[in-house]
Structure 1
Amino acid sequence: MQPITVLRGRRSAFRLGASLVAVCAVALPGPAEAQASPQNLRPVRDVAVTYDVRVGQRPARQVPVSWQAATQRVRAEPPGLPGWILVALPEGRAQMVMDAAGMVVDLPAGDMAPFLGGVPPGTRLIRQGEATIAGQRCTDWRVTRKDGEGTVCLTTDGVVLRAEGRHKGQEGRIEALTVSYATQPDGRFSVPAGYRPLALPPALLSGLLGGG
């Protein structure tokens, strides 16, 4: 049972961190904020960011996240998982890829909904100021929606450098430690050929993802 316990903690931390990023990165402003909204709500070029992720009272985690602009795909590598997370925004799909086992698990859309590009109605963004994080300039925005609120610091080319706040009753914070603009290889954003799909019972999958 120990592997499941470890996985639950790491996956829960990543899920909230991803949600904080996604809530701010893909949330569209309402009509009142049309003139003040960010120009780019997702990265417009390839980038790799290592985030410091803090969720509640859990120990801080460093999570590498890579973005491939041409395919609108995200690769995240939370520590402690048996694999890495692949999110394909155009397909609305999220998977955990387990290289050691040569397997891939589809993740429930409900758990990854914020990261899959859904735009909740009624989201408001209000500009607050500017900052420099990990050597990059960004603009601070106050984000308010029905299930949470917080702030996000977003670069002009759509990279989240910092996000903090409350989402569905949980509090958390992410902040970029390093930012590297470089072309991301295609092979890092696809499931390798020959990997077998692994279907888990819903109850077990929910437990593994910390969804219970």
Structure 2
Amino acid sequence: MRRAAPVLLLLLAALPAAAQDRPVFTPTRDVAVTYRVTAGQGAGHSLRMAWLVAERKLRVDAEGAPGWSVIDQRAQRMLVVMEQQRAVLEVPANTGPGGLSLPTEPPAGARFTKGAAATVAGLRCTTWHYEDGDKKGETCLTADGVMLRSSGGQGSRSGAVEATTVAYGPQDPARFRPPAGFRSMQVPPGLGFPGAPPAPR
């Protein structure tokens, strides 16, 4: 996932967290969203994201990537499914310097302010501006937690995405599980995961 996926993960990881007035930043019902990457790595490519709310899982399919990934919030890990190699790479959260910080765990120290309402992909959303150290940006979220637009990040890791289609409806749990017969691989502790965003500080 070396094109659009790292940028999207970074944008999600930068979403605001604890505050007295904060948005819902994960969907509260099953939904599938197609995004266009408008800046950063993978600009011009598309991303497909689907949430299986009951199992707290997010699937990411990036155009041009050799496979797909599933972020499992409950198990605190990401599974990278490499179809050509018929392998599944398991990446636990916070595997050390350069390791994975799950986008479902935004930085607790982020400061943010509520902005104006907007319409993206035919849906209303509220813009939230955030700042976390030298990471800045904004995201537009629906009332039920669907990200429709997001931009920002840090230096060369900055990027932007915008939803083009949003489809609510039950997701097939089988699409969020590794294919049968694929060999399992694990990232050794402390080695991190190439292309993953650094853990928020």
Instruction: State how far apart, in whole Å, the 2-side matches of 1:201 and 1:120 are.
Output: 24
Cα deviations by residue, 1:97-136 (Å, 9 ceiling, x for unpaired) = 1234431112363443042x32423212211110010011
Cα deviations by residue, 1:174-199 (Å, 9 ceiling, x for unpaired) = 11011000110010111123321135
SS at match of 2:170: coil
- Does the Cα contact within 8 Å between 1:16 and 1:55 map onto a contact in 2? no
Instruction: State how far apart, in whole Å, the 2-side matches of 1:161 and 1:108 are.
Output: 27
Instruction: State how far apart, in whole Å, the 1-side matches of 2:154 and 2:54 are.
Output: 29
- Indicate yes or no: 2:70 matched with 1:89: no
SS at match of 1:198: strand
- Describe how 1:10-159 pairs up with structure 2 within 5 A: 10=3, 13-24=4-15, 27-30=16-19, 34=20, 36-38=21-23, 40-56=24-40, 59-107=43-91, 109-110=93-94, 111-115=99-103, 117-159=104-146
Aligned Cα root-mean-square deviation (Å): 2.6
Instruction: State how far apart, in whole Å, the 1-side matches of 2:41 and 2:93 are.
Output: 27
- Describe how 1:173-212 pairs up with structure 2 within 5 A: 173-199=160-186, 209=195
Q: Extract unaligned runs of 5+ from structure 1.
A: 1-6
Letter in 2 for 1:28: A
SS at match of 1:17: helix
Quick check: which has more Rg, 1 or 2?
Answer: 1
Identity of aligned pairs, percent?
35
Q: Which has the higher helix share?
A: 1
Runs of 4+ in 1 over 6 A off after TM superposition: none
TM-aligned CA deviation for residue 206 of structure 1: 5.1
- Does the Cα contact within 8 Å between 1:104 and 1:195 map onto a contact in 2? yes
- Does the Cα contact within 8 Å between 2:25 and 2:147 map onto a contact in 1? no
Cα deviations by residue, 1:35-81 (Å, 9 ceiling, x for unpaired) = x322x221000000011113437532101111111111011111222
TM-aligned CA deviation for residue 14 of structure 1: 1.4
What is the TM-score of this pair, normalised by structure 1?
Answer: 0.80
Letter in 2 for 1:161: L
Distance of aligned partners of 1:59 and 1:122 in 2 relative to their CA distance in 1, 3 Å threshold: closer
Distance of aligned partners of 1:147 and 1:169 in 2 relative to their CA distance in 1, 3 Å threshold: farther
Q: Extract unaligned runs of 5+ from structure 2.
A: none
Instruction: State how far apart, in whole Å, the 2-side matches of 1:105 and 1:198 are.
Output: 5
What is the TM-score of this pair, normalised by structure 2?
Answer: 0.84
How many pairs does the alignment contain? Answer: 193
Letter in 2 for 1:19: L
Give the corresponding residue for 1:3: none
